[in-house]
Amino acid sequence: MSTIRVSDISHVRFTAPDLEEMRAFLVEFGLKPTLSPDGVLYARGAGGSPFVHATAQGAPSFAALGLRAESISDLEVLAKAEDVEVEALHAPGGGRVVRLTDPDGRLIEVVAGQTPLDPLPLEAETPRNSAASGRPRLRASVRLAAGPATVVRLGHCVLEVSDFRKVEAWYKSRFGFITSDEIEMAPGVAIGAFLRCDQGDTPTDHHTLFLLQSPRGPSFNHAAFEVADMDDLMRGHAHLRRAGREAAWGVGRHILGSQIFDYWKDPWGHELEHWTDGDLFTVADGSHKKTMADLLGVQWGPSHPMVAGAVGGQS
């Protein structure tokens, strides 16, 4: 039994030395940033969340992971169990927050009671003509306007950790995460896991959090943002390339989670992912053990940089 069950990821926080440069990148990435009166750059997507990405002035760093509780009463339960306070959340949407520190020293902000924004309109998905599904688009052409992708929501965050089992137990015991796929270096030697929220019979993302034991110790790996569809992802890819931004990996389709992915780096090297068409599972779908080949492999697309580098080094 866990203290509470979180319903989703809420936001990621960073610090950066140049908020205007971060603002420019976020616009090109497909977010809508606004500088608050207290000097924090908050960015929303097209969904109802008041913000999904926040940046304060400072040296380049990952600052916090935000998770969403189902209610303020859940925050009160969590605060009592952890002997901390439920505080006012001074950020777009207001609400309340409980702040904890995970075993690797990361700030975790668990929020509830935010006032949602009205979702922004999305372009209607263009009907696709294919031999498999028929040809529903008749006497009409596909014409995509150039521009950034449309980020809708934050989907997951990947954290590299110092002690996988210790950190996994901390997150599961407090927030009710369920393992979707556990990654083994060898049979019986687990080094990480994709964790999804426990929403009972309601399907939820294959992973909201991925924890991976890393030789470099605790660090931020990436945060992933869902975009409207595959055309939108590819439009965003072209836009970021034209803007001269640094690509990290993609475009391809993952094995675990099935997402179509496209990874980019912000001006200080933090990886942010565009993704679409991911898996959704319920509690009844259980947990599975997978290999490093499953983790790093793709169904189509370029090899992971670690794999590509290893192959290149052997030639």
pLDDT tens for each residue of 96-111? 999 999 999 999 999 9
Q: What average pLDDT does this structure show over 111-127?
A: 93
| pLDDT (mean) for 285-307 | 95
Q: Tokens 């949407």 appear where? A: 93
Residues 241 and 77: their CA atoms lie apart, in Å, by: 47
* pLDDT per residue as tens digits for the range 148-184: 999 999 999 999 999 999 999 999 999 999 999 999 9
Domains present along the chain, CATH in parentheses = 8-118+150-314 (3.10.180.10)
Residue 310 pLDDT = 58
Residue 70 has pLDDT above 90, yes or no: yes
pLDDT band of residue 307 (cuts 50, 70, 90) is confident
Question: At a CB cut-off of 8 Å and minimum separation 6, what does 87 contact?
Answer: 96, 97, 98, 99
In the chain, the percentage of residues whose pLDDT exceeds 90 is 89
CB 106 within 8 A of CB 99: no
Where residue 10 falls (left for φ over 0; alpha for ψ -120 to 50; beta otherwise) is alpha
How far CA 113 is from CA of 49, 92, 150, in Å, comes to: 11, 12, 26
**Confidence grade of residue 315 (pLDDT, cut at 50, 70, 90):** very low
pLDDT bracket for residue 133 (50, 70, 90): confident
Q: Which residue do the tokens 């924890």 mark?
A: 211
Residue ranges with strand state E in the chain: 8-16, 32-35, 41-44, 53-57, 61-68, 87-88, 96-101, 107-112, 151-161, 178-186, 189-196, 204-205, 209-213, 219-227, 246-254, 260-265, 271-276, 280-281, 288-291, 298-300
In which band, very low, low, confident or very high, does the pLDDT at 147 lie, cut at 50, 70 and 90? very high
Per-residue pLDDT for 95 more than 50? yes
Decide: 84 and 94 in contact? Cβ < 8 Å. Answer: no
Cβ atoms within 10 A of the Cβ of 239, count? Answer: 17
Is residue 35 scored above 70 in pLDDT? Answer: yes
Mean pLDDT, the chain, whole residue set: 95
Decide if pLDDT at 50 tops 70.
yes
Q: How far apart are CA 189 and CA 150, in angstroms?
A: 39
Concatenating the DSSP letter of every residue in 5-54 gives ---EEEEEEEEES-HHHHHHHHHHHT-EEEE-TTS-EEEE-SSS-S-SEE
For 15-31, the pLDDT digits (tens) are 999 999 999 999 999 99
Q: What is the pLDDT of residues 189-240, one digit of tens each?
A: 999 999 999 999 999 999 999 999 998 889 999 999 999 999 999 999 999 9
Rama region for 269: left / alpha / beta (φ>0; ψ in -120 to 50; rest): left
Mean pLDDT of 1-24: 98
Q: What is the amino acid identity at position 98?
A: V
Interatomic CA distance for residues 273 and 153, integer angstroms? 12
Q: What is the mean pLDDT of residues 39-55?
A: 98
DSSP string, 71-101: -HHHHHHHHHHHT---EE--STT--EEEEEE
Is the pTM of the predicted complex or chain greater than 0.75? yes
Name the pairing type of β-strands 189-196 and 96-101: unpaired
Predicted pLDDT at 314: 41
